[in-house]
Amino acid sequence: MVAPLTVPRLAKKTSPPQSANLPLALTLDRGGSDALHLQLAAQLRAGVTSGTLAAGVVLPGSRALAGALRVTRGVVTLALAELAAEGVLDAVPGVGMRVATGAARPATLPSAAALPAWFVLPEPAPVDAGQPSEGISFKPGVAASHLLDVRAWRAAWQAAARTPPGGDYGAAAGKWPLRVALAAFLARSRGLTVDPARLMVTAGSLSALGLIAGLLPRGSRVLFENPGYRAARQVLIDAGHTVISVPVDENGLITDNLPAARLAVVTPSHQYPLGVRMGVPRRLALLEWARQHDALIVEDDYDGEFRYGAPPLPPLTALDEGADGGGRVLYLGTLSKVLTPAVRTGFLVSPAALLPALERARVLTDAGHNTVTQDALIHFLLGGHLDRHVRRARRWHGQQQAALASALAPLTQDSHPLARLGGIEAGLHACLHLAPPLDADRVAAALALRGVFAGTLRRFMVEEAPQQALVLGYGGLTVAQIEAGARAIVDVVRAESDRLTA
């Protein structure tokens, strides 16, 4: 146990010495079910998100911390690498590990003692923190916003500024011209023909999923992919539902012997995080399951716009026999990856019968989407700028994808491959599956020491032994950064393999 003593120094631009103490107690249970490095990472993460460890605080060195905790240095290194990959910590050359800006709560927040006695603080939201300020971060879900046509972008917002604001909140489902423009974009980009009257403008996929979760009777059973999107799972849990994990393989969600449930949430176009896509037979099987169990399906079309050589598969919504308005699939899309997360805008295509309930939920949630943003997007879409941006982004991301696959080829194309690259045919991330007995956490820790940050698949899994894989998001990196980071991955994986076989 490390007792709370002095407050660590704040990191300065000059290289300050590290403090040997922490303002929180760390206790590792050697008989616990979780590995020691996971316990340490969880306690440090909680210290950061609670504000006990403020932004800029430099942590003790791994050797000093290991000595204080009476564990091996490898336990500390694995924990710090995990937090660095999440963006909770920054690795600063000559300084060490420090709490990343934006990862901690402000120190001025009231203490838990000031809260009502009945209130229990929830765990931090299961979302990744910002990217490390230095080094190469293979964080998934980052868009290439630098590809935006700045002139067209400014013109869209200037047009929105010239539009007089209305005196009311507007339609909960969104402005009609934007719904029409988004429906036309879906037809061009995904081959999905929908009635704009069934399309709702949302604040993104999690916001839309929250609206849908509110329609279900409390305590409903929901099928969810494992591994899967942690934040979406938490939305369902926070809504009071029972989430049932369903395994995923190289063909997407395994549809054999699915249990009864009221809802299934899937990412069939580019599964998050494995990157695989669900084949047509399983898509049809899932639709049949929904009919048999009187259930609904949420289709999160994650990264569906970006494919590299592989032919697109029809969305579940297009295969639904009731696509004229009476179907069972709710289709979620977002402009966060295809354009920029800054606009906080997505869309939901709903069966016609459900739309009034969704509009009611939206009115009671936030009364509808920001009308100024909607006006800017109407101008941007109707001017053809989004289509041109998507074409430009596809070319750019195709170069990134090719660079990653080529740089990792020494691991994947050897006569005795040390890894397999999955999910590379689409989207903005891929999974590097490591050959046994390689351990992804050890590889990630060694990479973090080189200033290369990659998360592991374990963070996306529940109730199962984790698969040994790195999740490599490349959307926000340059080709040169991808190549440099991939070379480091090759070196580290080979070195770890040599160590294990020595």
> Which DSSP string corresponds to 290-319?
HHHTT-EEEEE-TTTT-BSSSPPPPPHHHH
Residue 479 to residue 401: CA distance in whole angstroms:
9
Computed over every residue of the chain, the mean pLDDT equals 86
Burial of 100 (0-12, 13-18, 19+ CB in 10 A): buried
Are the beta carbons of 231 and 206 closer than 8 angstroms?
Answer: yes
**Prediction pTM value:** 0.80
Q: What is the mean pLDDT of residues 325-353?
A: 89
pLDDT of residue 83: 86
For the chain, what percent of residues have pLDDT higher than 70? 90
Residue 414 to residue 86: CA distance in whole angstroms:
31
Residue 205 to residue 194: CA distance in whole angstroms:
18
For the chain, what percent of residues have pLDDT higher than 90? 51
Q: Strand order of the sheet with strand 199-202?
A: 199-202, 346-349, 329-334, 296-300, 263-266, 221-226, 242-249, 252-253
Are the beta carbons of 404 and 136 closer than 8 angstroms?
Answer: no
Q: In degrees rounded to 5, what are phi and psi of residue 223?
A: -80, 140
pLDDT of residue 2: 45
pLDDT at 13 over 80: no
* C-alpha distances in Å from residue 492, one per residue of 79, 243, 442, 483, 485: 18, 37, 10, 14, 11
Which residue in 16, 71, 22 sits closest to 43, CA to CA?
22
- Distance, C-alpha 478 to centroid of its chain: 20
Are the beta carbons of 352 and 344 closer than 8 angstroms?
Answer: no
Q: Are strands 455-456 and 469-473 parallel, antiparallel or unpaired?
A: antiparallel
Q: Strand order of the sheet with strand 469-473?
A: 419-422, 429-434, 469-473, 455-456
Q: Identify whether 227 is preceded by a cis peptide bond (ω within 30 of 0).
A: yes
Are the beta carbons of 224 and 244 closer than 8 angstroms?
Answer: yes
pLDDT of residue 20: 43
pLDDT of residue 79: 87
Residue 343 to residue 334: CA distance in whole angstroms:
10
Are the beta carbons of 440 and 454 closer than 8 angstroms?
Answer: no
Could you tell me the sign of the dihedral formed by the alpha carbons of 304, 310, 315, 316, in that order? negative
Least confident of 9-23, 152-166, 300-314, 389-403: 9-23
User: Can you tell me which residue has the tokens 């340059």?
Assistant: 478
pLDDT of residue 10: 38
- Distance, C-alpha 473 to centroid of its chain: 10
Classified by CATH at the fold level, domain 389-501 comes out as Aspartate Aminotransferase, domain 1 (3.90.1150)
pLDDT of residue 488: 96
Pick the CATH number of 36-114 from 1.10.530.10, 1.10.10.10, 1.10.3470.10, 3.40.50.300: 1.10.10.10
pLDDT of residue 29: 83
Q: Which residues 6+ apart lie within 8 Å of 179 measured at CB?
A: 173, 196, 197, 199, 200, 201, 347
Q: Is 240 left (phi over 0), alpha (psi -120 to 50) or beta?
A: left
pLDDT at 404 over 80: yes
Write down the CATH number for the domain with range 150-384.
3.40.640.10
pLDDT of residue 131: 61
pLDDT of residue 3: 44
**Domain-wise residue ranges, the chain:** 36-114, 150-384, 389-501
* C-alpha distances in Å from residue 9, one per residue of 109, 252, 405, 411: 20, 48, 42, 42
Residue 27 to residue 36: CA distance in whole angstroms:
10
Stronger pLDDT, 34 or 309, i.e. the higher one: 34
